Protein backbone atom coordinates (compact mmCIF):
# COMPACT_ATOMS: atom_id res chain seq x y z
CA UNK A 1 0.00 0.00 0.00
CA UNK A 2 1.02 3.64 -0.30
CA UNK A 3 3.24 4.77 2.56
CA UNK A 4 1.30 7.02 4.98
CA UNK A 5 3.03 10.39 5.30
CA UNK A 6 3.57 9.90 9.05
CA UNK A 7 5.55 6.69 8.40
CA UNK A 8 7.57 8.18 5.52
CA UNK A 9 10.33 9.48 7.86
CA UNK A 10 10.87 5.93 9.19
CA UNK A 11 11.24 4.65 5.62
CA UNK A 12 13.69 7.43 4.83
CA UNK A 13 15.73 6.59 7.94
CA UNK A 14 15.78 2.88 7.11
CA UNK A 15 13.70 1.78 10.09
CA UNK A 16 10.86 0.54 7.87
CA UNK A 17 11.18 -1.03 4.43
CA UNK A 18 7.55 -1.37 3.38
CA UNK A 19 4.07 -0.72 4.72
CA UNK A 20 2.14 -3.93 4.13
CA UNK A 21 -1.37 -2.94 5.26
CA UNK A 22 -3.42 -1.09 7.82
CA UNK A 23 -4.22 -3.25 10.82
CA UNK A 24 -6.64 -1.09 12.77
CA UNK A 25 -7.81 2.43 13.51
CA UNK A 26 -8.62 3.24 17.12
CA UNK A 27 -9.53 6.23 19.24
CA UNK A 28 -5.88 7.08 19.88
CA UNK A 29 -3.93 5.81 16.88
CA UNK A 30 -3.79 3.98 13.58
CA UNK A 31 -1.75 0.78 13.43
CA UNK A 32 -0.02 -0.58 10.34
CA UNK A 33 1.76 -3.86 9.60
CA UNK A 34 5.23 -3.06 8.26
CA UNK A 35 8.23 -4.96 6.94
CA UNK A 36 11.50 -4.23 8.72
CA UNK A 37 14.27 -6.29 7.17
CA UNK A 38 13.43 -9.93 7.83
CA UNK A 39 10.82 -9.10 10.46
CA UNK A 40 7.19 -8.04 10.28
CA UNK A 41 6.35 -5.45 12.92
CA UNK A 42 3.68 -2.91 13.88
CA UNK A 43 3.86 0.83 13.39
CA UNK A 44 1.52 2.71 15.70
CA UNK A 45 0.81 6.22 14.43
CA UNK A 46 -0.64 8.42 17.18
CA UNK A 47 -3.47 10.71 16.25
CA UNK A 48 -3.19 14.41 16.99
CA UNK A 49 -4.86 15.58 20.18
CA UNK A 50 -7.80 17.23 18.41
CA UNK A 51 -8.51 14.02 16.50
CA UNK A 52 -8.37 11.60 19.39
CA UNK A 53 -11.53 10.19 20.92
CA UNK A 54 -9.98 9.62 24.32
CA UNK A 55 -11.57 11.91 26.90
CA UNK A 56 -10.60 13.18 30.35
CA UNK A 57 -6.88 13.01 29.52
CA UNK A 58 -6.13 15.18 32.56
CA UNK A 59 -7.10 12.28 34.83
CA UNK A 60 -4.37 10.20 33.23
CA UNK A 61 -1.59 12.78 32.96
CA UNK A 62 -1.71 13.81 36.64
CA UNK A 63 1.58 13.02 38.32
CA UNK A 64 3.56 12.34 35.16
CA UNK A 65 7.14 13.47 35.34
CA UNK A 66 8.39 16.15 32.96
CA UNK A 67 11.89 16.91 31.75
CA UNK A 68 12.37 20.27 33.44
CA UNK A 69 10.66 23.22 35.11
CA UNK A 70 10.38 25.17 31.83
CA UNK A 71 8.46 22.30 30.26
CA UNK A 72 6.22 22.00 33.33
CA UNK A 73 5.40 25.72 33.32
CA UNK A 74 4.63 25.72 29.60
CA UNK A 75 2.35 22.69 29.95
CA UNK A 76 0.54 24.32 32.87
CA UNK A 77 0.00 27.56 30.92
CA UNK A 78 -1.24 25.73 27.84
CA UNK A 79 1.03 27.67 25.50
CA UNK A 80 1.72 26.39 21.99
CA UNK A 81 5.05 25.00 23.16
CA UNK A 82 3.35 23.55 26.22
CA UNK A 83 0.74 21.80 24.11
CA UNK A 84 3.47 20.35 21.92
CA UNK A 85 5.35 19.10 24.95
CA UNK A 86 2.17 17.70 26.47
CA UNK A 87 1.45 15.80 23.28
CA UNK A 88 5.02 14.44 23.14
CA UNK A 89 4.75 13.35 26.79
CA UNK A 90 1.43 11.59 26.07
CA UNK A 91 2.99 9.64 23.20
CA UNK A 92 6.20 8.79 25.07
CA UNK A 93 4.16 7.45 27.99
CA UNK A 94 3.36 4.25 26.12
CA UNK A 95 6.97 3.66 25.11
CA UNK A 96 8.14 4.16 28.70
CA UNK A 97 5.38 1.96 30.10
CA UNK A 98 6.05 -0.86 27.62
CA UNK A 99 9.76 -0.92 28.46
CA UNK A 100 9.13 -0.81 32.18
CA UNK A 101 6.47 -3.51 32.10
CA UNK A 102 8.46 -5.82 29.83
CA UNK A 103 11.32 -5.60 32.33
CA UNK A 104 8.85 -6.49 35.11
CA UNK A 105 7.71 -9.65 33.30
CA UNK A 106 4.36 -8.36 32.07
CA UNK A 107 3.21 -9.70 28.69
CA UNK A 108 3.24 -6.63 26.46
CA UNK A 109 4.50 -6.05 22.89
CA UNK A 110 8.23 -5.39 22.66
CA UNK A 111 8.89 -1.72 21.74
CA UNK A 112 11.70 -1.25 19.20
CA UNK A 113 11.80 2.43 18.33
CA UNK A 114 9.90 5.69 18.64
CA UNK A 115 10.36 8.22 15.87
CA UNK A 116 8.37 11.26 14.72
CA UNK A 117 5.27 10.26 16.70
CA UNK A 118 5.35 6.65 15.46
CA UNK A 119 5.94 3.69 17.76
CA UNK A 120 7.60 0.71 16.10
CA UNK A 121 6.91 -2.46 18.05
CA UNK A 122 6.45 -6.20 17.98
CA UNK A 123 3.58 -7.63 15.97
CA UNK A 124 1.74 -9.98 18.33
CA UNK A 125 0.92 -12.89 16.04
CA UNK A 126 -0.93 -16.19 16.09
CA UNK A 127 0.54 -19.58 15.17
CA UNK A 128 0.23 -18.77 11.46
CA UNK A 129 2.08 -15.46 11.77
CA UNK A 130 -1.10 -13.44 11.34
CA UNK A 131 -1.98 -10.61 13.77
CA UNK A 132 -3.36 -12.11 16.97
CA UNK A 133 -7.08 -11.57 17.63
CA UNK A 134 -8.40 -9.35 20.38
CA UNK A 135 -9.88 -11.07 23.40
CA UNK A 136 -13.42 -10.02 22.48
CA UNK A 137 -13.06 -11.69 19.08
CA UNK A 138 -12.48 -15.23 20.35
CA UNK A 139 -14.91 -17.75 21.80
CA UNK A 140 -14.26 -18.85 25.36
CA UNK A 141 -15.45 -21.72 27.46
CA UNK A 142 -15.80 -21.44 31.24
CA UNK A 143 -12.42 -23.07 31.93
CA UNK A 144 -10.53 -20.81 29.52
CA UNK A 145 -12.31 -17.78 30.94
CA UNK A 146 -11.20 -18.68 34.48
CA UNK A 147 -7.65 -19.37 33.32
CA UNK A 148 -7.35 -16.12 31.37
CA UNK A 149 -8.92 -14.15 34.23
CA UNK A 150 -6.46 -15.59 36.75
CA UNK A 151 -3.54 -14.82 34.44
CA UNK A 152 -4.65 -11.24 33.79
CA UNK A 153 -5.26 -10.51 37.47
CA UNK A 154 -1.69 -11.60 38.08
CA UNK A 155 -0.56 -9.30 35.25
CA UNK A 156 -2.42 -6.40 36.90
CA UNK A 157 -0.54 -7.18 40.11
CA UNK A 158 2.82 -7.21 38.29
CA UNK A 159 1.96 -3.89 36.70
CA UNK A 160 1.09 -2.34 40.04
CA UNK A 161 4.26 -3.71 41.61
CA UNK A 162 6.09 -1.86 38.81
CA UNK A 163 4.20 1.29 39.79
CA UNK A 164 1.84 1.34 36.81
CA UNK A 165 -1.94 1.12 36.37
CA UNK A 166 -3.21 0.48 32.83
CA UNK A 167 -6.19 2.77 33.24
CA UNK A 168 -8.25 1.51 30.29
CA UNK A 169 -7.98 -2.27 30.49
CA UNK A 170 -10.74 -4.27 28.83
CA UNK A 171 -11.33 -7.08 26.36
CA UNK A 172 -10.67 -4.59 23.54
CA UNK A 173 -7.01 -3.99 24.38
CA UNK A 174 -5.94 -7.53 25.16
CA UNK A 175 -4.62 -9.72 22.34
CA UNK A 176 -4.47 -13.50 22.55
CA UNK A 177 -1.57 -15.34 20.91
CA UNK A 178 -0.61 -19.00 21.21
CA UNK A 179 0.80 -18.44 24.71
CA UNK A 180 -2.20 -16.51 26.03
CA UNK A 181 -3.20 -12.87 26.67
CA UNK A 182 -0.98 -9.90 25.78
CA UNK A 183 -1.83 -6.44 27.14
CA UNK A 184 -1.70 -3.53 24.66
CA UNK A 185 -2.60 0.19 24.39
CA UNK A 186 -0.82 1.97 27.22
CA UNK A 187 -0.56 5.70 26.39
CA UNK A 188 -3.00 6.40 29.23
CA UNK A 189 -1.04 4.34 31.80
CA UNK A 190 -0.79 6.17 35.14
CA UNK A 191 1.79 6.38 37.91
CA UNK A 192 0.20 4.49 40.79
CA UNK A 193 1.98 6.52 43.47
CA UNK A 194 1.60 9.99 41.91
CA UNK A 195 -1.90 9.93 40.42
CA UNK A 196 -4.88 10.43 42.73
CA UNK A 197 -7.08 8.54 40.28
CA UNK A 198 -4.92 5.40 40.30
CA UNK A 199 -6.99 3.47 42.84
CA UNK A 200 -10.25 4.12 41.00
CA UNK A 201 -8.68 3.22 37.65
CA UNK A 202 -7.17 -0.02 38.91
CA UNK A 203 -10.46 -1.11 40.42
CA UNK A 204 -12.24 -0.24 37.18
CA UNK A 205 -9.69 -2.27 35.17
CA UNK A 206 -10.24 -5.27 37.43
CA UNK A 207 -14.03 -4.83 37.33
CA UNK A 208 -13.90 -4.79 33.52
CA UNK A 209 -12.13 -8.15 33.57
CA UNK A 210 -14.66 -9.61 36.01
CA UNK A 211 -17.59 -8.36 33.92
CA UNK A 212 -16.20 -9.74 30.66
CA UNK A 213 -15.09 -13.16 31.89
CA UNK A 214 -18.18 -13.36 34.10
CA UNK A 215 -20.20 -13.92 30.92
CA UNK A 216 -18.59 -17.35 30.69
CA UNK A 217 -17.90 -18.07 34.38
CA UNK A 218 -20.57 -16.13 36.36
CA UNK A 219 -18.87 -16.58 39.73
CA UNK A 220 -16.08 -14.21 38.64
CA UNK A 221 -18.51 -11.28 38.84
CA UNK A 222 -18.64 -11.70 42.61
CA UNK A 223 -14.89 -11.39 43.13
CA UNK A 224 -13.29 -8.29 44.67
CA UNK A 225 -9.72 -8.54 43.48
CA UNK A 226 -9.43 -4.80 42.82
CA UNK A 227 -10.03 -3.79 46.44
CA UNK A 228 -7.87 -6.66 47.70
CA UNK A 229 -4.95 -5.77 45.43
CA UNK A 230 -5.06 -2.07 46.27
CA UNK A 231 -5.28 -2.73 50.01
CA UNK A 232 -2.09 -4.83 49.80
CA UNK A 233 -0.42 -2.13 47.71
CA UNK A 234 -1.34 0.66 50.14
CA UNK A 235 0.17 -1.24 53.06
CA UNK A 236 3.35 -2.09 51.15
CA UNK A 237 2.59 -5.81 51.19
CA UNK A 238 1.90 -6.38 47.49
CA UNK A 239 4.35 -8.65 45.66
CA UNK A 240 4.11 -10.19 42.16
CA UNK A 241 3.34 -13.56 43.76
CA UNK A 242 1.18 -12.34 46.66
CA UNK A 243 -1.59 -14.87 47.40
CA UNK A 244 -5.01 -13.52 46.42
CA UNK A 245 -8.46 -14.74 47.43
CA UNK A 246 -10.77 -12.48 45.42
CA UNK A 247 -12.51 -11.47 48.63
CA UNK A 248 -12.23 -8.24 50.59
CA UNK A 249 -13.69 -6.88 53.79
CA UNK A 250 -13.22 -3.20 54.48
CA UNK A 251 -12.02 -2.12 57.91
CA UNK A 252 -15.19 -0.76 59.45
CA UNK A 253 -13.69 -0.13 62.90
CA UNK A 254 -14.88 3.28 64.09
CA UNK A 255 -12.22 5.66 65.31
CA UNK A 256 -12.38 6.66 69.01
CA UNK A 257 -13.46 10.29 68.66
CA UNK A 258 -12.32 11.27 72.17
CA UNK A 259 -8.83 9.93 71.52
CA UNK A 260 -8.62 11.73 68.18
CA UNK A 261 -9.65 15.04 69.77
CA UNK A 262 -7.10 14.55 72.56
CA UNK A 263 -4.34 14.06 70.01
CA UNK A 264 -5.43 17.16 68.10
CA UNK A 265 -5.57 19.25 71.28
CA UNK A 266 -2.13 18.04 72.41
CA UNK A 267 -0.67 18.97 69.04
CA UNK A 268 -2.33 22.42 69.26
CA UNK A 269 -0.93 23.07 72.73
CA UNK A 270 2.54 21.94 71.69
CA UNK A 271 2.51 24.32 68.73
CA UNK A 272 1.18 27.18 70.89
CA UNK A 273 3.96 26.60 73.41
CA UNK A 274 6.57 26.63 70.65
CA UNK A 275 5.23 29.90 69.23
CA UNK A 276 5.19 31.42 72.74
CA UNK A 277 8.84 30.48 73.33
CA UNK A 278 9.81 32.05 70.02
CA UNK A 279 7.96 35.26 70.95
CA UNK A 280 9.29 35.36 74.53
CA UNK A 281 5.79 35.02 75.99
CA UNK A 282 4.73 32.97 79.01
CA UNK A 283 3.35 29.53 78.15
CA UNK A 284 -0.38 28.98 77.80
CA UNK A 285 -2.05 28.02 81.09
CA UNK A 286 -4.14 24.83 81.35
The residue annotated as part of the active site, out of 13, 168, 177, 205, is 168
The residue from 113, 144, 177, 185 that is catalytic is 185
Go through the chain and tell me how many residues it has: 286
Long-range contacts of 34-42 (CB under 8 A, 24+ apart): 34/7, 34/120, 36/112, 36/120, 40/123, 40/125, 40/129, 41/112, 41/120, 41/121, 41/122, 41/123, 42/109, 42/120, 42/121, 42/122, 42/123
Rounded-to-10 torsion of CA 92, 96, 97, 102: 140
Q: Is position 241 annotated as part of the catalytic site? A: no
Residue 243 burial class via C-beta count within 10 angstroms: exposed 0-12, middle 13-18, buried 19 and up: exposed
Q: Is 168 a catalytic residue?
A: yes
Q: Would you name the residues annotated as active-site residues?
A: 168, 185
Amino acid sequence: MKTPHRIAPLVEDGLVDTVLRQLMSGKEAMVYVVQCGDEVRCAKVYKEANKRGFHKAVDYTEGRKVKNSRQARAMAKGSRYGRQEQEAAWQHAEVDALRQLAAAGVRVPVPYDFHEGVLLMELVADEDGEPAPRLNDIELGADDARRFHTFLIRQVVRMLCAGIVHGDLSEYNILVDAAGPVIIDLPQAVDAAANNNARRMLQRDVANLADYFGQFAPELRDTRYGEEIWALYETGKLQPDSPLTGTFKADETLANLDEVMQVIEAARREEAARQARLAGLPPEED
